[in-house]
Amino acid sequence: MLDRLRRLRLPGHILPSSLQGRLTLVMVIGVLLTQLAGNIIWAAQRRAEAREEVRTAAQHLAHSASSAVRFFLSLPPNYRPLIIQQFREMGGTRFLVNINRAPVPVRSLGGQELTDTALAQVRATLKEDLPNARKLQIAFAWPDRLPVDDEGILLAEMPETWTQHIMLPKPAPVLLIQVELEPGTWMYLATLMPNPYFLETGNPLTRDRLLLQALSLAAVLLVSILVVRWIIRPLAALSEAATAFGKGENPPALPETGSREFVTTARAFEDMRKRIQRYMEDRERLFVSISHDLRTPIMRLKLRTELLDEEAMRDEFHDDLDELDMMVKGALQTVKDSDIHENATEVRLDALLGRMVRDAQLAGHEVSFTASGQMVTAKPLALKRAIGNLLNNALYYGARVELAVGENAGNIEIVVRDHGPGVPEEALAGLGQPYVRLEHGRSRNSGGMGLGLSIARGIVQAHGGELLLANAPDGGFQATIVLPGGLFNPG
């Protein structure tokens, strides 16, 4: 079902992005299609049954009408009004009978499937039972404006005892049969179908049934949503644990409960987390050991270099050993700065950046910053170190530095922009890699190792954010820290 939805290429705002939303949408569509198909089949069967019931009822009613017509044909014409009067005094019969000089014009009720079926069956049965009938008129009409005789008397104006079998509290269509007995003599027969409200059976989707369908759909959807939430709840816990672990936190172990697939996934995640933790610990120990072990031979080489007689060679050895010592310290710093063990808390960016700006201004640098009132959930020391690395780079290569904080699409953006020469476009892709330094960077800051951007990027990524590096539109270079989630404006 999801594949079919994808092939439909629904717009992103229609197809939910969450698993719960997509499963719920699939269930809603599935239930609606099932009910629609079921209703179509049921309605077709119900209409077929209604047509058969109406055809049978019309046939029996036509037989009764033909018997009444034959009875009146057998009577002398002057006895017919007496018999009709007796019928009326006795409280009426199935038929309201009258003798007219001509057929009474009526506003027929037609154009509906069941009425057409009933009229066709009545006509066929009467022609079969009364083959010698001169003329025949059959129609359905509503009783409110139905005339009874050729003088224009309405059915509603007749005594209630005469029409009690026809005039119901809720109006029902009246079957009117008019047969010519002799020239100038028409017999008028009015009656109701055995099921007076047979027209309602032609519409299976009544209000009560639609209400029942809606209640059933709501109950199914409610249960479906609860089941979907119950199924995906472990996935949400897994997602939260993975996010927390990616930010350097140590979340509790996932409970091994739920479906077999989730238990297997939880165990695999725990095994992966333990392996990564062991790797990080081993890496830190390795770098510390290498740094410690290399410092001793480096120091010995420096001491032996002092014994060299040739001053030029001695200086070259000193420069190489100093560079080697700086590389070892830089590698150890990269590990430590990327893995700062502290808890995340709410950081006031105005206070954090304000202190950094004041320190830079006291050192004689031109730095500007406008307070924003924004706060962010982060590791304070790690975030300060990342921003500090970007600020130091900007101070080295730019004559003037601007710091700005803004909010964009629910994310906090910290922008460090300098007014220096910028970076060649072809070199932007390689920035942020360890030990990557550009030519103008070496000339301006010969003591650097090209680790500042790499450390800053690692810290930002550990917060679940992103470091964007680009040339400013009107000159200079800007670095943007984008931190998602957990953000608010205290106002």
Q: How many residues does the chain have?
A: 491
Residue with tokens 């006895």: 79
CATH 3.30.565.10 domain position(s) in the chain: 343-488
Edge to edge, the sheet with strand 185-192 lists 96-100, 185-192, 174-182, 136-141
Give the C-alpha separation, 462 to 482, whole Å.
Answer: 12
β partners of residue 99: 187
The answer to whether the beta carbons of residues 119 and 215 sit under 8 Å apart is: no
Q: Return the ∠ at Cα 270 (arms to 266 and 273), rounded to 5°.
A: 135
CATH 1.10.287.130 domain position(s) in the chain: 241-339
State the angle between helix axes of 207-246 and 260-305 in degrees (0 to 180), rounded to the nearest 10.
20
The pLDDT score that the predictor gives to residue 319 is 72
Burial (CB count <10 Å: 0-12, 13-18, 19+), residue 250: exposed
The answer to whether the beta carbons of residues 73 and 181 sit under 8 Å apart is: yes
The answer to whether the beta carbons of residues 139 and 182 sit under 8 Å apart is: no
Residue with tokens 């081993």: 282
The pLDDT score that the predictor gives to residue 452 is 75
* 3-state helix/strand/coil string of the chain: CHHHHHHCCCCCCCCCCCHHHHHHHHHHHHHHHHHHHHHHHHHHHHHHHHHHHHHHHHHHHHHHHHHHHHHHHHCCHHHHHHHHHHHHHCCCCCCEEEEECCCCCCCCCCCCHHHHHHHHHHHHHHHHHCCCCCCEEEEEECCCCCECCCCCCEHHHCCHHHHCCCCCCCCCCEEEEEEEEECCEEEEEEEECCCCCHHHHHCCCCHHHHHHHHHHHHHHHHHHHHHHHHHHHHHHHHHHHHHHHHCCCCCCCCCCCCCHHHHHHHHHHHHHHHHHHHHHHHHHHHHHHHHHHHHHHHHHHHHHHCCCCCHHHHHHHHHHHHHHHHHHHHHHHHHHHHCCCCCCEEEEHHHHHHHHHHHHHHCCCCEEECCCCCEEEECHHHHHHHHHHHHHHHHHHCCCEEEEEEEECCEEEEEEEECCCCCCHHHHHHCCCCCCCCHHHHHHCCCCCCCHHHHHHHHHHHCCCEEEEEECCCCCEEEEEEEECCEECCC
What's the CA dihedral at 15, 17, 20, 23 to 10 degrees? 40
The CATH architecture that domain 343-488 belongs to is 2-Layer Sandwich (3.30)
The pLDDT score that the predictor gives to residue 261 is 77
AA letter at 17: S
pTM of this structure: 0.47
Give the C-alpha separation, 136 to 120, whole Å.
Answer: 12
The pLDDT score that the predictor gives to residue 385 is 84
The answer to whether the beta carbons of residues 483 and 412 sit under 8 Å apart is: yes
The answer to whether the beta carbons of residues 174 and 142 sit under 8 Å apart is: yes
The pLDDT score that the predictor gives to residue 174 is 92
The pLDDT score that the predictor gives to residue 488 is 38
Whose CA is closest to 172, among 189, 152, 190? 190
How large is the C-alpha radius of gyration of the chain? 47
Give the C-alpha separation, 322 to 299, whole Å.
Answer: 10
Burial (CB count <10 Å: 0-12, 13-18, 19+), residue 436: middle
What's the CA dihedral at 333, 334, 336, 337 to 10 degrees? 100
AA letter at 197: Y
Read off the tokens for 220. 């199914």
The pLDDT score that the predictor gives to residue 159 is 83
Read off the tokens for 165. 């079998």
Instruction: Judge: domain 241-339, CATH 1.10.287.130.
Output: yes
The pLDDT score that the predictor gives to residue 179 is 93
AA letter at 23: L
The answer to whether the beta carbons of residues 385 and 454 sit under 8 Å apart is: no
Exposure letters 27-50 (e unless 16+ CB within 10 A, then b): beeeeeeeeeeebeeeeeebbeeb
Q: Which residue ranges in the chain fall short of pLDDT 50?
A: 1-2, 5-10, 12, 442-443, 447, 486-491
The pLDDT score that the predictor gives to residue 292 is 64
State the angle between helix axes of 452-462 and 380-397 in degrees (0 to 180), rounded to the nearest 10.
150
